[in-house]
Amino acid sequence: VHYPGTLEVTGYTIEEYGEIPLLWLRMIVEEDRELVASQSEFVKKEKKTHSVEHRIRQKNGAIRWVRNVSVPTLDEQGRLISYDGLITDITELKEAEAYRNQLLEKMSLAATRDALTGLYSRRMLDDELNRAWQLGERRGLPLGLLMLDIDHFKVLNDTYGHQVGDQILVETAHLIRATVRTGDSVIRYGGDEIMAILPMTGLEETHRIGERLVDTFRQHIFC
């Protein structure tokens, strides 16, 4: 630990390392201590360089990510004399990775979900249909489909504006999700067209769910 970057990386001076017992171990975030301990055991047993990434708590309380490389020193007979820890601050790299992962997650979500309503997007139609069809085939049961649209939606949009139209779509999606079953898939098929895929559902049950949806809409006051 005693190198010029000690203070910059950890916030502690070289003198403090000599004054405070087990300071480095105490700096390691508790959840990561087992990982660092296993690194130490590996180096002692295998006598090979080994690296891990873990968190430390700086003197000011800030959490930083470091790459910890343990490098063994061996004598002429190959026996372990000691090992040194080379520490590199990789916090910015970890933050960049986390940001990238967030972006990838958002992109993945955008590919499968409609941004306005949160329903499946149209590109998920084939996948959800195949899933429901295969589920029914395995059990010898039919597949139900409902296609819904909002009457006079263009008139509503033109009269009250797109903000109101969007709110109606959001409420419509919520009502449908709350009415159909947990295993059913609801897809925004078009502007105001929404499809409900009902796995293992026969004609009569599909009719009942459709009627239940109509009753739910009749009782709801939009916006």
Q: Which residues are catalytic?
A: 192
Q: Report how far apart the first and last C-alpha atoms of the chain are (Å, whole number).
A: 63
Task: Give how far the C-alpha of residue 118 lies from the chain's centroid of Cα atoms, to the nearest Å.
Answer: 16
Query: What's the Cα-to-Cα distance from 88 to each of 41, 43, 53, 138, 215, rounded to whole Å?
Result: 21, 18, 9, 55, 64
Instruction: Put residue 73 in one of left, alpha, beta given phi > 0 → left and psi -120 to 50 → alpha.
Output: beta
Distance CA 13, CA 65 (A): 19
